[in-house]
Chain A
Amino acid sequence: MSTVSAERLARIFVEVADTMVDEFDLIEFLQMLADRTAGLLDGSTVGLMLADPKGRLRFMAASDETTGLLELFQSQGSDGPCLDAFRTGEPVVNADLRIATSRWPRFAPVAASIGFRSVHAFPLRLRQEVIGSMGVFGTETGDIGGTDVQIVQALADVAAIGLLQHRTISRSEALTEQLQGALNSRIVIEQAKGAVAQAHDITIDAAFTRLRAYARSNNRRLSDVAHLAVTDLGSLQGLAGF
């Protein structure tokens, strides 16, 4: 990451801090955070998990959500670096997957089979409150140095501040409402993958790629496009061409 310009980094921080917008969409925000962080750490996959009211980590967004990776993120509800970072409020850095099986009996073998060699996780925290964590998975061991760790944790901290601002400035229920809405949007995205895969006779992963490309090209939220894919597929003009 040392080759990233200060200007680019500054732009990313401003983008991550900008949460007090009228039509704030939690999934879009977390998607952006995952994409930007992955962009800073070449060759890494970044996933974001938030805790539901029962304290369980739930997958929200990732820089890459092909099927195998999706299962990997979801498996972190039971063990894994993201769960550790969430519970302790401390980053997990440069964990070598080859020796992590006893630490993460469910997560480690799955991650290793996908080809990851190192994992890191950063808590999304503000003071004493940890609301989730960001997982960074790489194909090389020990590929995040000290300065980079500080930068990624700072990004996570800014994101957490932004999310929790909604709670203190508006209503304390705002974050709960948004989180539940986002969890439901995640379900809609999965339903949309299935619907498009069936309708266009393509794989689930190809269907997601198509939906995402359509959303970006038409400057629309992925959640909105997914909802239409399930309720009114015909209205997504030209979706098959993406």
Chain B
Amino acid sequence: MRSRFGVVVSRMDDGRAAEPDHDFARPVSLPPPDGLAGLLHQLCTDTAQALSACGVGMSVMTADGVHGFAAASDPATARIEELQFTFGEGPCIDAFAYSRPVLMPNLDASAANRWPVYTPAVTDAGVRAVFAFPLQVGAARLGVLDVFRDRPGSLSRAELGQALASAERAVTALLDGQERTIDGTDGLDGAFDRSAALFQAQGMVMVQLGVSLAEALVRIRAHAYATGRPLHIVTADIVSRRLRLDQHSADGSS
């Protein structure tokens, strides 16, 4: 089944820690490198290079346990990325659940304490540090971006900034989908314009349309794109009640 983001998703196990599966010979099929998938793959590769990481992976997730592979810098990392779902635990899952990054510069005893099955498995795969960043806009949670390194050590402030920037680009790409990712020059702002009005408009549209918050984000951006109007203008119209997205005409009349 395909999620709205066009990636294949599968339901996660019921949460019990599975037997560790060391059969990494089973190949993980990666989506073809074009469109959104290609962009996300490139994002993982670029981020891995910028952060001197042995791999960067990305997964899409929902609050009720559905998850799907989104992208990875390489096949080995794709398998490492899957480990958190195999075992139902890990810094990546925690980052998504608690809506904040989980930064583990050293997979030591405290990591083994928190994630007793995941930690040895990911360590066996050569990983010594994991930095997990939720992909989210407020309460709209899309997934997680995971940075793996083969040596212990913190991310520098610059590297942290780059990782957060990559997470923001991933969110924007996931929200905009296939249509606008190929050249990226549509002039649409990233999903993280800092104004309060944008986020207020998201909440309003969510209620107007009776959809999820993530869907509301997509619909606002789609409206801006379709009408050729800047996002901040559309946002201002929504917040001032000049524009309702549950009515068919752009001027708000039904």
Binding site for B on A (CB under 8 A): 52-54, 58, 67, 70-71, 74, 77, 171-173, 176-178, 180-181, 184-185, 187-188, 190-199, 204, 226-227, 229-231, 233
In whole angstroms, how far apart are the Cα atoms of A227 and B99 in the complex?
11
Is the pair B206, A230 in contact by a Cβ cutoff of 8 Å?
Answer: yes
- What 5 pairs between A and B have smallest CB-CB spacing? A194-B203, A181-B100, A187-B138, A190-B199, A195-B203
Given the contacts A53-B164, A54-B161, A227-B139, A177 and B100 also touching, CB distance less than 8 Å: yes
14 contacts across the A-B interface (CB closer than 8 A): A53-B157, A74-B196, A185-B99, A187-B138, A188-B139, A190-B198, A190-B199, A191-B140, A192-B139, A194-B207, A195-B207, A197-B200, A198-B208, A204-B239
**Which chain A residues lie closer than 8 Å to B202 at the CB level?**
191, 194
Residues of chain B with a CB closer than 8 A to A226's CB: 139
- Closest Cβ–Cβ distance, residue A118 to chain B (whole Å): 25
Chain B residues with CB under 8 Å of A74's CB are: 194-196
10 A-B pairs besides A190-B200, A204-B200, A226-B139 with CB distance below 8 A are A177-B100, A180-B101, A180-B164, A184-B134, A184-B136, A191-B202, A191-B203, A193-B200, A198-B203, A230-B138
> Hey, which chain A residues are within 8 Å of B136, CB to CB?
184
Bound together, the chains give a CA A137 to CA B102 distance in angstroms of: 36
Contacts of B224 in A (CB 8 A): none
Whether B103 is near chain A, meaning CB under 8 Å from some CB there, is: yes
Dominant secondary structure at the A interface: helix
B side interface size, CB within 8 A: 36
B195 — which chain A residues lie within 8 A by C-beta? 74
Q: How far is the CB of A13 from chain B (nearest CB, A)?
A: 28
Shortest B1–chain A CB gap in Å is 23
Chain B contacts to A: CB under 8 angstroms: 63, 98-105, 134, 136-140, 154, 157, 160-161, 164, 194-196, 198-208, 213, 239
Distance in angstroms between the alpha carbons of A198 and B61 in the assembled complex: 28
Give the chain A neighbours of B137 by CB distance below 8 A: 187
Residues in chain B near residue A52, CB distance under 8 A: 164
Q: Could you tell me if B105 and A190 are in contact, using CB atoms closer than 8 angstroms?
A: no
| Nearest chain A residue, comparing its CB with the CB of B156 | A53
- Nearest residue, chain A, Cβ from B238: A194
How many residue pairs bridge A and B at CB < 8 Å?
A: 107
Give Cα distance in the complex from A125 to B213, angstroms. Answer: 37
Which single member of B98, B99, B160, B196 contacts A190 (CB below 8 Å)? B196
Residues of B within 8 A of A77 (CB): 194
Q: Is the CB of B161 within 8 A of A191?
A: no
| Chain B contacts for A230, CB-based, 8 A | 138-139, 203, 206, 213
Q: Which residues of A contact B161 (CB under 8 A)?
A: 53-54
**Quick check: A176 and B194 within 8 Å, CB to CB?**
no
User: Measured between alpha carbons, how far is A67 from B196 in the docked complex, in Å?
Assistant: 9
Cα A108 to Cα B222 with chains together (Å) = 36
Residues of B within 8 A of A229 (CB): 203
Q: Which residue of A lies closest to B206 (CB)?
A: A195
> Are A192 and B203 touching (Cβ within 8 A)?
yes
- Asked if B98 and A181 sit within 8 Å, CB to CB, the answer is yes
* Docked pose: A176 CA to B133 CA in angstroms: 11
Q: How far is the CA of A54 from the CA of B157 in the complex (A)?
A: 8
For the complex, what is the distance from the CA of A180 to the CA of B161, rounded to whole Å?
11
Question: Contacts A74-B196, A180-B164, A187-B199 hold; do A194 and B138 have CB atoms under 8 A apart?
Answer: no
Nearest neighbor of B217 in chain A, beta-carbon distance:
A191
Asked whether B138 lies within 8 Å of A188 as measured between CB atoms, the reply is yes
Least distance between A222 CB and chain B CB atoms (Å): 14
Q: Which A residues lie within 8 Å of B206 (CB)?
A: 191, 194-195, 198, 230
When C-beta atoms are compared, the residue in chain B nearest to A183 turns out to be B100
Nearest residue, chain A, Cβ from B201: A194
Contact: B100 with A180, CB < 8 Å? yes
CA distance A180 to B28 in the complex (A): 32
* Given contact pairs A176-B160, A177-B101, A184-B99, A70 touches B196 in the complex (Cβ within 8 A): yes
Report A223 CB to chain B, min CB distance, Å. 10
B102→A177 contact, CB < 8 A: yes
A176–B239 touching, CB < 8 Å: no
Q: How far is the CA of A181 from the CA of B136 in the complex (A)?
A: 11
The minimal Cβ–Cβ distance linking A221 to chain B, given in whole angstroms, is 13
| CB-CB under 8 A for A176 and B138, given A191-B213, A230-B206 | no
Report the Cα distance A199→B206, complex, angstroms. Answer: 10
Q: In the complex, A178 Cα to B139 Cα: how many Å? A: 16
Collect the chain A residues with CB atoms within 8 Å of residue B104's CB: 173
